[in-house]
Amino acid sequence: MTDSTIQHTINQLREALRYHNQRYYVLDDPEISDAEYDQLFQKLQRLEQEHPELITTDSPTQRVGGAALSGFTEVRHLRPMLSLGNVFNEEELLAFDKRIHERLKLEAKSDLAYVAEPKLDGLAISLLYREGVLERAATRGDGETGEDVTQNVRTIKTLPLKLLGNDWPKLLEVRGEIFMPRKGFEAINQKLATQGQKTFANPRNAAAGSLRQLDPQLTAQRPLAIYCYAVGIVEEGTMPATHWQQLAQLKEWGLPVSDLIEQVQGVQGCHAYFAAMGKKRDQLPFDIDGVVYKINDLNLQEALGFVSRAPRWAIAHKFPAQEQVTTIVEVEFQVGRTGALTPVARLEPVFVGGVTVSNATLHNMDEIERKDIRVGDFVIVRRAGDVIPEVARVLIERRPQNTRPIELPTVCPVCQSHVERIEGEAVARCTGGLYCTAQVKEAIKHFASRRALNIEGLGDKLVELLFAKGLIKHIDDIYRLEAEPLAALERMGKKSAENLIAAIDKSKQTTLERFIYGLGIREVGESTAKAYAKHLGSLEALMAADETALQTVPDVGPIVAAHTVQFFAEAHNREIIQHLRQLGVSWNDYEVHTEVLGALAGQVIVLTGSFSRLNREEAKERLEALGAKVSSSVSAKTTRVFAGEKAGSKLAKAESLNIPIADEEALLALLETTKNT
């Protein structure tokens, strides 16, 4: 290849890469695959390596280059970088629009043409393109002078180092916002955290910190993004006459412009845009803190000019701040209807996310520990969208001397029953399930439900009503109800009251498993209740069993066992049970064969595949009768697997865990030869 054909090839490759960059990053509509792009890129890289004299700074291969700096150079902006005035409500927006009408001597009724844009929460940047080539990027600084961050800005992949086309002015200044999308922010923070380094408080700080890295290699690893929103200096060239057209032109040259930007008419159009963005806000991949309205006609912009440091032709309409600093005055624990204790921070009231917030959930004790929250701390309270306000983080550096650690209460703040916190669970709970007024309404609904005591007619709505009228306070009160006061209830009548009393009476004769299930012990569903009933035989035995004994019952693990023991350990619950029995609730106990805890005790067996001579259900029962636990899934606890025909994933899992495997023959032999002693 001659020198000129090499130069030509290099030029063509660069053009192609720039074009595909725009398709990918700006238009979000790539024409070629990533692999094809990489091929072009590598070809260019190779040619440049062979001919280093042909490398130019605007080549797509030259994004990350240069050595680390010792500091940033100051640059004077060719035209000051201004800020924007703010409005916070419709009234202020109307006043802004009215001022413009008056200044331009327009009829009050005529609608002005605006461009409405998201107000990106990042850092303003000025980009100078000379002859279409990115020459300098500078931060806003104080508006007059900023810092030269060209090396770092070049690493932002969506930004062209050279503009597309050839119709750009000789000198073009573009202004925009550098920001960090939320996903990238989270990834960076995770990485910093695993490296034991300080994390960033929000995407804006992360963007600022990344842009001010002295080593561009580091900046290149940060997921920065940019959107352009204005044109500054233009020399030797022309630009379109409206802001909207200018943005379209920038986009054509390959510069990233947000596609959330819209043309709107008058204050009404502005307001509709504000409302729509407010709704979209939480779903956007980046933070915005409001919207910006700009007069579209550049002649009108010029006529309006500036006041102090902001243009008269544009205004920022801010969303209410989503974060505020306040202090934690006290922490209280709320008891939910499932007994869960939720720590709630009482705050010095603050206006955040558009409302005054004086409480924030702290979720659970793990969360408190993780965030290191104490009473008296200065904290950042966050309220995003419609979500419940929360304490985002503690300002540790502002921690006063006399803060107090938050302790989980040992008894329920509502009913004084004991509080349990099972190992491995984040949530602490009140154990007074039958007694605690915070939980009792739900407990009654459950107790009366079809699969529990099956009290016909005592549905959720009626429970609510009886509770509201004070006719029942606890479960045992169901059996103290009398027809007369019931009949006096709205929409009740004599007949239905009598029917209800009859149904309540009928429910007294029940089964042990229904009663156990009806108690609403956490994690004890119908099948566990049944297993308890069949294997332990009586309520007395269940109440007396410790965690080890409970775990000999099929499918009962340590967590269910712990919940069960805690439930019966609570005197309040035992008392209610006693009342229920005194009021006539009864059942027949089961006979238990004590030798059942026999020959195969401790074995955890899994049956899989199909058996030809044995019925699987029957095999299961016989194994259980021999004291084995028959489980439906293979785990490290499994001691043996019997596999029939066409056994699949369970068999494979058992193999991978090195668990002894045998066939139907062996199972038959085992059942034949094993006897409980």
Pick the closer one to ligand IVH by CB: 20 or 271: 271
Strands 86-87 and 314-318: parallel
Pick the closer one to ligand IVH by CB: 84 or 379: 84
Residue 118, strand partner residues: 291
Helix (H) or strand (E) run with residue 90 in it = helix 90-103
257 is a site residue for ligand IVH (CB under 6 A): no
Given a contact cutoff of 8 angstroms between Cβ atoms, the answer to whether 437 and 414 are in contact is: yes
Q: Which stretch binds ligand IVH (CB under 6 A): 79-87, 276-284, 418-426, 645-653?
A: 79-87
Active-site residue, selected from the candidate residues 105, 119, 508, 629: 119
How far, in Å, CA of 79 to CA of 145, rounded? Answer: 10
Q: Could you give the 3-state DSSP secondary structure of residue 638?
A: coil
Query: Angle 90-103/266-280 helices, nearest 10 degrees?
Result: 150
180 is a site residue for ligand IVH (CB under 6 A): no
How far, in Å, CA of 157 to CA of 159, rounded? Answer: 5
- The identity of residue 116, as a single letter, is A
173 is a site residue for ligand IVH (CB under 6 A): no
Count of CB atoms within 10 A of residue 142's CB? Answer: 9
671 is a site residue for ligand IVH (CB under 6 A): no
Pick the closer one to ligand IVH by CB: 271 or 474: 271
Q: Which stretch binds ligand IVH (CB under 6 A): 78-86, 344-352, 378-386, 613-621?
A: 78-86
Q: Interface residues for ligand IVH in 269-298 (CB under 6 A)?
A: 292
| Rounded (10°) CA dihedral 26, 32, 37, 40 | -120
Q: Which stretch binds ligand IVH (CB under 6 A): 114-122, 160-168, 198-206, 547-555?
A: 114-122
Token digits for 411?
């008894």
382 is a site residue for ligand IVH (CB under 6 A): no
Q: If 0-12 CB within 10 Å is exposed, 13-18 middle and 19+ buried, where does residue 230 land?
A: buried
Pick the closer one to ligand IVH by CB: 287 or 624: 287
Pick the closer one to ligand IVH by CB: 211 or 562: 211
Q: Could you give the 3-state DSSP secondary structure of residue 171?
A: strand
Token digits for 2?
């001659």
Number of residues that bind ligand IVH (CB under 6 A): 15
The residue sitting closest to ligand IVH, measured at its beta carbon, is 124
Count of CB atoms within 10 A of residue 512's CB? Answer: 22
Binding-site member from 14, 18, 77, 119 for ligand IVH (CB under 6 A): 119
Strands 404-405 and 640-643: unpaired
Q: Interface residues for ligand IVH in 291-330 (CB under 6 A)?
A: 292, 311, 314, 316
147 is a site residue for ligand IVH (CB under 6 A): no
User: Which residues, other chains included, contact 247 with Cβ-Cβ below 8 Å and sequence gap of 6+?
Assistant: 115, 228, 229, 257, 261
Alpha helices in 469-553 (DSSP H): 483-487, 493-507, 512-518, 526-536, 539-544, 547-550
Closest CA to 42 of 13, 19, 65: 13
Given a contact cutoff of 8 angstroms between Cβ atoms, the answer to whether 533 and 582 are in contact is: no
117 is a site residue for ligand IVH (CB under 6 A): yes
Binding-site member from 115, 220, 230, 560 for ligand IVH (CB under 6 A): 230
256 is a site residue for ligand IVH (CB under 6 A): no
Pick the closer one to ligand IVH by CB: 119 or 154: 119
Known active-site residue 157: no
Token digits for 172?
């073009």
Q: Which stretch binds ligand IVH (CB under 6 A): 81-89, 268-276, 356-364, 569-577?
A: 81-89
How far, in Å, CA of 282 to CA of 305, rounded? Answer: 34
Pick the closer one to ligand IVH by CB: 48 or 117: 117
124 is a site residue for ligand IVH (CB under 6 A): yes
CB of 90 to ligand IVH, least distance (A): 20
Pick the closer one to ligand IVH by CB: 230 or 462: 230
How far, in Å, CA of 516 to CA of 514, rounded? Answer: 6
Binding-site member from 120, 231, 350, 614 for ligand IVH (CB under 6 A): 120
Q: Within 13 Å of residue 97, how many CA atoms lie on the same side as its CB?
A: 23
Helix (H) or strand (E) run with residue 328 in it = strand 323-335
User: Which residues, other chains included, contact 501 with Cβ-Cβ below 8 Å and sequence gap of 6+?
Assistant: 481, 482, 483, 486
Pick the closer one to ligand IVH by CB: 138 or 452: 138
CB of 354 to ligand IVH, least distance (A): 19
CB of 525 to ligand IVH, least distance (A): 54
CB of 92 to ligand IVH, least distance (A): 15
229 is a site residue for ligand IVH (CB under 6 A): yes
Binding pattern for the stretch 37-56 against ligand IVH, x by CB under 6 A and - elsewhere: --------------------
CB of 10 to ligand IVH, least distance (A): 37
How far, in Å, CA of 242 to CA of 300, rounded? Answer: 10
CA 637 to each of CA 29, 279, 447, 524, 659: distance values in angstroms, whole numbers, following the listed order: 53, 50, 34, 21, 9
Binding-site member from 82, 201, 375, 481 for ligand IVH (CB under 6 A): 82
How far, in Å, CA of 420 to CA of 514, rounded? Answer: 25
Binding pattern for the stretch 198-227 against ligand IVH, x by CB under 6 A and - elsewhere: ------------------------------
Binding-site member from 7, 56, 83, 511 for ligand IVH (CB under 6 A): 83
Pick the closer one to ligand IVH by CB: 252 or 289: 289
137 is a site residue for ligand IVH (CB under 6 A): no
Q: Name the residues annotated as catalytic.
A: 119
Binding residues for ligand IVH (CB under 6 A): 82-84, 117, 119-120, 124, 140, 177, 229-230, 292, 311, 314, 316
